[in-house]
Chains A and B, each alone.
Chain A
Amino acid sequence: MADLPETITRWFAAKGWSLRAHQRAMVEKAHAGQSALLIAPTGAGKTLAGFLPSLIDLIEPRPIRRLHTLYISPLKALAVDVARNLETPAAEMGLPIRIETRTGDTPASRRARQMTSPPDILLTTPEQLALMLAHPQASKLFGALKRLIVDEIHAVAPNKRGDLLALGLARLRAIAPGLVTAGLSATVAEPDDLRRWLTGQGKGENLADLVLAAPEEAAEPILTMLETAERLPWAGHSARHAIGEIYAEICKAKLSLVFVNTRMQAEYLFQLLWNENEAGKRIALHHGSLDVSQRRRVEAAMAAGQLDAVVCTSTLDLGIDWGDVDLVINVGAPKGASRLLQRIGRANHRLDEPSRALLVPSNRFEVLECRAAIEAAFAGEQDAVTKRAGALDVLAQHVMGMLVAEPRDEAGLLAEIRDAAPYADLSDEDFAKILAFVIDGGYALRAYERFARVKRDREGRLRVANARIAQSYRMNIGTIVEATMLKVHLGKPTGSGKTLRFGRLLGEVEEYFAEGLVPGDTFIFGGEVLQFEGLAEDRVIVSRTTARDPAVPSYAGGKFPLSTHLARRVRTMLATLAEWGALPEQVSAWLELQRQKSRLPGPEDLLVETFPRGDRHYLVAYPFEGRLAHQTLGMLLTRRLERARLKPLGFVANDYALGIWMLGDVSAEAKRHKSFLPELFAPDMLGDDLEEWLEESALMKRSFRYCAVIAGLIERRFPGMEKKARAVTMSTDLIFDVLRRHEPDHILLKAARADAASALLDLRRLSDMLMRVRGRIMHHGLKQVSPLSVPILLEIGKEPVYGEARDAAIGEEAARLMEEIGA
């Protein structure tokens, strides 16, 4: 390759740095016009490697300023941070360039100006790219684009945002044919899917070149698990027991990042740490729901070295570099080895020093999982990014965006879409159906031709019918659908005990969480333990309580399933008594107690416990196959229990076990018929039952709601009016029922089914397990809960069952209330 320009070599020399091999390789790829995927650990100078070719290109002043490089990040904050970090070298090199960001927080005036007078380098998000591409000036704006960088590509590609971005990339390749792309990724097990994702597939399979940072450049991390002296909770995710010990670690370090998995956990832990904060340490909070200005203040304080610790969620997972972090504390289980390594990488961004990380399990099962994660990290295990077919609802949104930008002919549009890797295998039929949906809903009953959103012009090209359609598209862009929230008020029952009086507003919880609550349930909210009293006027009424170990409200973004690697390690550990020695004494004592009260599942057996609790009966099974497989199993088992007239009410799955509660006496049933449990777990459940269940499940309704919103069937926001999220939930359920009955083959139902199936996934793993345990089901009928079942009973994310039991329960409660008033 040609030598680097002097401007660059001088800058490196002034810094006392030398060009790393992978940085040189990225420059060479760009020089040769080759797209490339760079896989490097955090701190390996990944961002600079991505931008170096652009900086080299931009050394010479250009006659007309046009957009040269587009950088896409999954996080607004990351785009802002990278822009800041890029401005310094650009200024030091004396480059005559303008670098700008464009996010949802960018003022409208600046966004408008960027369309007519763009910077040389623009840093933005997938949603903003989609918006720009839907602009009539898009072809002009991106016409001279030379380089596109996708950061944290492993986090973007495997979801709907990735689908939207892949379609945007395909459009950019069509507008700017010489475009060279670069992907920046953390270590992944199978990079080929990401290499494909980065490049056009229109002329046959095509892979971006792979550039690997040399592994020897990274030092081994120092990774330990907190050996608490306190009592380890049975369940819950607060880590309250270890707060003193976490605080002591923070005091010893210079700057600590404390990672948790959900927003609520972050708030709670933050509050606990402040209660503990006798030394007056400067501790801050950072998560996605905080006000932007507040987040920016925390980020700036971090960078300026004015903080001692930051409690954060996955908003700080990705490659933001805000300060000299020397300790990463991960509270709760990391769920996957890759995620753990990413978080560890936040500490010490210099490769010659090892990262220091401390795992703090928040309950006993998590001790097993943390131990497994540490072993996996040392064994160098990585989680794979799985290949996926592009979502059809996202395609509908994209097609509308394309037609908003300019009139398009059908064949050209389809060819461009198939250039995007997730849609390379899109069938003619599915495309035709999506197009029909975009035009007038695509219903077999052609009732809406008169209202069509898209019309054909004289040349047969497709174009949007009116300005309102375009405006509505712009207002509803994006693939992230907010959950419906309910307000939480303090309050208490009055009078006969059934009337609720409500007072101070505490905040909001997800509706799905609230619907799973039964009066008397406890949960953590806003840093305190609350007891659910009931629901009134769509408000969640709660009282304060002194209960311990409650369930924590869950947030859709906060739950990661246990990876297959870790699940397998946990299973083996549990079945191998010799390995218990490596566990904290409390945990081995817990397992020992289980061995006495019930039994421990062998490596090949399936342990099933049944017991009564309150006015319900429980069945708990321990397949240790991961949450997704357990959820699938849960919904299939509840169907069979419904048919057996045991009136199941709901189920809950975590990574280790599955619990189902019901009105019928399942213990008696299992005792009466020896064949009951073997038949219940018979593998043929994966046939028709699966199909039927999907149609009626809450999960399917939720999937449909997301698809309906993303595809533009339902508008979240429409011109002149703010539609409440509550109204959206109501109507999509009704729409789903009507559509399912009258046009079951509609393309949006197909999209929702595909989503539901992929959310359940792991059918293969479940089917293997069901085959394996035939004849090996160990049933224990107990009088009360077993030690091992306690965590699952307190688990979050309960799935309701829509069956006979619901109506039966209304009848019961109504009769009770009528009796109470003597009617």
Chain B
Amino acid sequence: MEEIFKEYEDKLPAKLIDDIKKNLPANITKAKLKEIFEKVVDEYEKAKIDVGECVGLVAAESIGEPGTQMTLNTFHFAGVSEMNVTMGLPRIIEILDGRKSISTPMVEVYLKAPYNQGGNVKELAMQIKEVVVEDVASEFSINLVDAIVEIRINENKAKNYGLTAAAVGKIISKSFKGIAVKQNGSSLIVKLDDKEESLNKTYKLKERLKLIHIAGVKGIKQVLPVKKGNEYIILTAGTNMKSILTLEFVDATRTRSNDVHEIRDVFGIEAARQVIIDELMKVIKSQGISIDMRHIMLVADTMCVSGYVKGITRYGVVNDKSSVLARASFETPIKHIIKASLVGEEDKLNSVIENVMLNQVVPSGTGLPGLTMKLPKKT
């Protein structure tokens, strides 16, 4: 038996062999097993894509056609679940363009075992949320005569984040050079060390003080604990995976962001590819459209082959095409042709578009095979 399994190891993927193993009846004969394997190999070979099949173009059409129906029902999702997430066509465009900054960055924070049962999710969520001085202050005022900024801390608000006026004062004095912070009850008095006291400088100081980060994770503007299945997770608006993952109560194995570029930086390109696929499939499912996942996977693969996330734009994937004519036929033709002429680029006419332009047979499908024949030697 075992040798038969061995024999087919390089003919079939491991998963199929496992499936066969699992489903075999106990009293199978060798001959029968062999027969089963032959049938499976047959089917497997049939299911493979043929040589010369235009997979990219088919993927493009398969995504593009349902995409046209999507435009109309874009705003179906607005306002649901308190978290406003970009969905629909705008989100798809955002992902495929490989945008560096997306319109609604979001993290799904999964929690480790004891924390994920609720209880103190709210406090945990508050720990993640970014807190700046402005959030805990009730008033900022400038004293023009002494050139000082007075910050009145709202003790109640500060308590929410486990802070006191003194603690805030400490953080402020640490994060700034050239200032002196004095505490006066619940107020903090900030004075510039600078001898020249100008109104302009004090005003700028006030504005900068407002945005000093005092607690939580930078970049997380909003948090929302929700129940997912039988555990609690925290959704955030804004993303900062690097810092979130360092938190002790966060389950780093499941926590995920929807920012493809951030995922690539933190987890690597394979993870980014998976996020592209997942995010695209999420939108497609929410629209009630069915697109085969393999089309999406192909797109994600093309975006990620180089090791960097590249968008389907003239700066990204299209820019990497080897053919000048193919690039020129996409966008900004003059730019590409002039650049090519400067370095004397050669176009091998290996792909589809160039050959359509020249009215030659396209090297795919029936255009792929050629017939060669040795001429009889002349005598």
Verify that A and B bind, or say they do not. Answer: no
